[in-house]
Amino acid sequence: MDAALSQRDRMLAGAHYDPRCPELVALHRRAQELTRAYNQTIKGDTERDKILTDLLGSWNGAVIHAPFHVDYGSQIHFEPGCFVNFGCVILDVCEVRIGARTQIGPNVQILTADHPRSGAERAQGLEWGRPIRIGADAWIGGGAILLPGVTIGDGAVIGAGAVVTRDVAAGATVAGNPAREIAPRKA
């Protein structure tokens, strides 16, 4: 990885980066201010659309119930017709793409951020991430956790409380910890 890249560029590329650098601290603070403002609104408040437009990379009219929490927001891209229930957390140090008409249950965590496994490396404060992709017409059940780098195929169903550690095929239904296929894919 090019040492001349900014910490933000390193973060977006999935390389080790320092989240304490001034640029990332400022971007994170901006996202915190916008999510705080959003989380203080209720359905029908006119400023909600502007806040989500300013916060997210692509909003496309997704219905998002507060509270909603993000790291940066700008790496999150919704296609049209999406629904996000209460308490969703998206750690978007890398890109998160959510396909059209996907529904996300309450208290779902979508986590692109990752950390070194060794304590000595964690003490250096470096992080990295891997992007997450969710296809169209997927359903993510309440309390599910999607770990860095997973892809969820079109029409897949993630059972409530599942911990998704690997890719889920289109049309598959998975559940458990770690999530495993429990229903055959639809033809």
In the set 16, 69, 77, 115, the catalytic residue is 115
| Rounded Cα gap, residues 169 and 171, in angstroms | 6
Spell out the residues 6+ positions from residue 177 whose beta carbon is closer than 8 angstroms to its own: 161, 162, 163
- Clarify whether 115 is annotated catalytic: yes
Contact present, 156 and 166 (Cβ < 8 Å): no
Whether the CA torsion 51, 53, 57, 59 is positive or negative: it is: positive
Give the pair of three-digit tokens for residue 88: 């969703």
Spell out the long-range contacts of 13-18 with Cβ–Cβ below 8 A and sequence spacing 24 or more: 14/94, 14/128, 14/129, 14/130, 14/131, 15/128, 16/126, 16/127, 16/128, 17/93, 17/126, 17/127, 17/128, 18/125, 18/126, 18/127
Supply the residues annotated as catalytic. Answer: 115
